[in-house]
Structure 1
Amino acid sequence: MKKLVLTGARGRLGSYLREPLSKLCDELVSTDILEAPTSLHDGERYVQADLADLPAMEALLEGADMVVHFGAIGDEAPFETLLGPNFIGAYNIWEAAYRNGVRRVVYASSIHAVGMHKKTDFIGIDAPHRPDTFYGLAKCFAEDLASMYWDKRGVEAVCMRILSAAQPTNPRAVGTWLSYDDLIHMVERAIDTPIVGFSVVYGVSNNDRAPVDNTKARHLGYHPKDNAEAYAKEIYAEYGPLDPQDAANMCHGGPFSTIPLGESGLAALNLNEDDVAKS
């Protein structure tokens, strides 16, 4: 590819993608609402911009082959707080992609789009939306937007419903862990698969206890390698028996399933220091 755009490049997950994506194109344009990082990779250019600014997004995507859209507030917050970056920002990315003839949007969706489903249901990519928060609702909106722009305007999309992209530190993560290497692999497959139309894939590693089914996403060639089972014995010993009546243990959204709407859910996830530092 000649030009690839990465939004949310200063975020916890976007920061892991900058170097590998820079190797897939002649020019990687990284963007975020924050100031530029201290250093850039070969072939990388940085543009500070606001997702809620449609003209800025349209200019940013000019001449791009694809856009990898990770920009957003990555936590539950009041609807009014999420409206600009997470809802309007998603519309602006797809509209700017359409206006510029961008072929594909690779989108960082989330398990929270289906967070109120029970983990024991072993849901597939065709599970109906069941958001657990305003944050999850924004992911539902963007997935439906992606579907509509494919059906009506021919803009391809891969919506990656990321589960737990941080080191396993709690019982939920034994099933939901997505390693950073597998994250990069998933994004690469979302980019280099020749035809995707509108596709959904769960962002989860090759965990023995993964609670979701990616069978219908096999056309993407995503084959994760890491397995959180290596952490299971230690984590289960630390936490002891879990309450099966607690929705935080039973639902895909974990703590996001039980927090009041508009209140942060990240604090309950017990991220380690390295993961928090990347936030």
Structure 2
Amino acid sequence: MLKKLVLTGAAGRLGSYLREPLSKMTEELVCTDIAEGIGKLYPGESYVRADLASYDEVHTALEGAEMVVHFGAIVDEAPFETLLGPNFIGAYNVWEAAFQHGARRVVYASSIHAVGMHAKQDCIDTDVAHRPDSFYGLAKCFAEDLGRMYWDKRGLESVHLRILSCAQVTSSRALGSWLSYDDLIQLVTRAVETPTVGFSVVYGVSNNDRSPVDNTKAGQLGYRPKDNAEQFAAEILAREPAGDPTDPAQMCQGGPFSAVDLGESGLAQMTIVDDRKET
């Protein structure tokens, strides 16, 4: 069991599902976000309000941490200036503070949007070149390269989870991209407990029949997703119109983020159900 683990983005939808399982892996779980609070705390859990864009606040929150699960960010496309603080500088602050405090590993919520302009029919693996679909995706590329550099130069391990779509299945795209909450928890806990990871990139996706990525290299974590979005296929496909092969939102890995103009919301083109876990 770890002595101290820090979770950023704890007030977010995905963070709400990670808090309880992570609290069972460590003597002390410190959750951070910019929200006023995160509800009732689990045993061993505490909450620290911290702005990712502030190095001093991040540095204080990470003191004594063995690992950091970094899920904090603005989770949509936005103007570069809006994302610069939390998504770009925030990533640097987390890695630098983790290094300064002697942490062993950062587990990072990367995204398919780091490679979002690749075609879905290419069934890409984790070795493909970065090809961001947005400023949001560019921030994920930055953090992945940051993690590689801190491993190469400073020996700080990191696992970068390129999450495809972790939300209720409401579209045909999600039949391939879905990551269930149970599989998310398995993926993150395996990224924490695996003895050595070096610098690793894996896709965050369930065991979907229609998955558009090759996630073979996630095997090193012992990640074995159990859920499959095919159970929703008949209902989804019956109500959606025929596909359009000229639409980047349908043909590219990044979905709607691949089609919107830079700086414009990608989530506005999607139906995301806010079903965060309440404590």
Q: TM-score band (shorter)?
A: over 0.9
1:245 Cα shift? Answer: 1.1
Q: Which runs of 5+ in 1 are unaligned?
A: none
State the AA in 2 paired with 1:55: D
For the residues of structure 2 that align with 1:247 and 1:264, how far apart are their CA atoms?
15
Give 1:30-49 correspondences, 5 Å limit: 30-49=31-50
1:190 Cα shift? Answer: 0.3
Structure 1: which 4+ aligned runs deviate by more than 4 Å? none
1:252 Cα shift? Answer: 0.3
Secondary structure at 1:248 match in 2: helix
For the residues of structure 1 that align with 2:78 and 2:113, how far apart are their CA atoms?
13
Secondary structure at 2:172 match in 1: coil
For the residues of structure 2 that align with 1:92 and 1:38, how far apart are their CA atoms?
26
For the residues of structure 1 that align with 2:69 and 2:36, how far apart are their CA atoms?
19
Match of 1:119 in 2: 120
Q: How many residues align?
A: 277
1:181-225 Cα distance to aligned partner (Å, 9 max, x none): 000000001000000000000000000010101112311111100
Secondary structure at 2:175 match in 1: helix
Match of 2:192 in 1: 191
Match of 1:66 in 2: 67
Secondary structure at 1:120 match in 2: helix
Q: Which runs of 5+ in 2 are unaligned?
A: none
1:224-244 Cα distance to aligned partner (Å, 9 max, x none): 000000001110110031101
State the AA in 2 paired with 1:183: L
Match of 1:86 in 2: 87
For the residues of structure 1 that align with 2:155 and 2:199, how far apart are their CA atoms?
9
Give 1:214-225 correspondences, 5 Å limit: 214-225=215-226
1:9-62 Cα distance to aligned partner (Å, 9 max, x none): 001111111111000000000000111122111100100010111111111111
Match of 2:152 in 1: 151
Q: Bigger shift: 262-271 or 78-87?
A: 262-271
Q: Bigger shift: 32-41 or 148-157?
A: 32-41
TM-score (norm 2): 0.97
Secondary structure at 1:124 match in 2: coil
TM-score (norm 1): 0.97
Secondary structure at 2:6 match in 1: strand
State the AA in 1 paired with 2:14: L
For the residues of structure 2 that align with 1:60 and 1:132, how far apart are their CA atoms?
32
Secondary structure at 1:212 match in 2: coil
1:84-126 Cα distance to aligned partner (Å, 9 max, x none): 0000000000000110000000000000000000000000011
For the residues of structure 2 that align with 1:96 and 1:54, how far apart are their CA atoms?
8
For the residues of structure 2 that align with 1:255 and 1:42, how far apart are their CA atoms?
40
Residue identity over aligned pairs, in percent, reads: 69
1:273 Cα shift? Answer: 5.0
Contact 1:125 1:217 in 2 (8 A): no
Match of 1:14 in 2: 15
